[in-house]
């Protein structure tokens, strides 16, 4: 589930990426405005509980936290080599330089290691779950979607950003290390509906499409 897929909008060039360790890039200060817009799109507010599945070392959660206060973050992945306290603290220290106080001063971060079929996120506890370029890497998407449904609060939001196939062709993701074919959109949509999610919005603002669903 750990995808080394950079979340880069058109205005964020490769020169703005830093790679302090192998598990993913972090961004310079002028490259993180995309995440403020993502926060706004996901409607993350103070007091919310937010989770990302396939979070790797947390390198994008740290960028999101620069603009947030009083948010509880759950960083979930199956890769302990990338998602661990040492890597996370590197990320949080890096992004804390971009605000007057550490991102941990008001936000809370939890690491959660899952499996191919279980996220191990707490049940009925999450306001917003986000998946960035991870859906196509799920070996058992129905099991994970059912699990995410249980983790969300009533009317909670699941947002999925990924590249999909719309014409039925066979296509693979751009990451050379990824061996999984991209999901067909009609199969993706059917899986979400089958597991109790209703689509409420979509946008192409963030490079790949982001589809936002609500727990029915």
Q: Domain with 106 in it: what CATH number? A: 3.40.50.150
Q: Does residue 4 belong to any structural domain of this protein?
A: no
For residue 189, give Cα distances in angstroms to 29, 162, 193.
36, 13, 6
Rg (CA), the chain: 16
Closest CA to 149 of 139, 158, 141: 158
Question: Is residue 187 situated within a structural domain?
Answer: yes
- pLDDT value for 24: 73
- What's the predicted TM-score (pTM) here? 0.90
H or E segment at 50? strand 49-53
Residue 7 belongs to a domain: no
pLDDT at 168: 86
Does any domain span residue 189?
Answer: yes
Residue 3 lies in a domain: no
Would residue 122 count as lying in a domain? yes
Q: What is the mean pLDDT of each run of 10 residues along the chain (216 residues)?
A: 40 49 79 94 98 94 97 97 92 94 97 97 98 94 98 98 93 78 96 98 95 96
Judge whether 141 lies within some domain. yes
CA distance 132 to 216: 22
Please give the Cα distance from 4 to 69 (Å, whole number): 27
Gap between the Cα atoms of 28 and 12, Å rounded: 10
Contact 19, 7 (CB under 8 A): no
Find the DSSP H helices in 61-181. Answer: 61-65, 85-96, 141-151
Domain limits at 30? 14-215
Counted domains in the chain: 1
Average pLDDT value for the chain: 89
């Amino acid at each position: 589930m750990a995808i080394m897929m950079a979340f880069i909008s058109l205005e964020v060039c490769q020169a703005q990426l830093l790679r302090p360790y192998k598990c993913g890039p972090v961004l310079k200060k002028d490259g993180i405005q995309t995440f403020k817009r993502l926060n706004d799109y996901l409607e993350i507010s103070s007091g919310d509980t937010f989770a990302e599945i396939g979070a790797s070392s947390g390198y994008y959660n740290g960028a999101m936290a620069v603009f947030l206060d009083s948010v509880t973050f759950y960083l979930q992945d199956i890769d302990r080599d990338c998602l661990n306290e040492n890597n996370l603290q590197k990320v949080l220290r890096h992004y804390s330089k971009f605000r007057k106080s550490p991102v941990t001063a008001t936000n809370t971060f939890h690491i959660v290691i899952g499996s191919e079929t279980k996220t191990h996120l707490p049940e009925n506890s999450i306001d917003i779950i986000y998946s960035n370029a991870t859906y196509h890497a799920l070996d058992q998407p129905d099991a994970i979607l059912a699990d995410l449904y249980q983790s969300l609060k009533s009317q909670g939001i699941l947002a999925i950003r990924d590249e999909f196939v719309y014409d039925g062709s066979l296509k693979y993701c751009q990451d050379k290390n990824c061996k999984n074919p991209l999901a067909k959109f009609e199969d993706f949509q059917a899986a979400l509906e089958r597991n109790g999610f209703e689509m409420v919005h979509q946008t192409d603002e963030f490079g790949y499409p982001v589809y936002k669903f609500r727990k029915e």
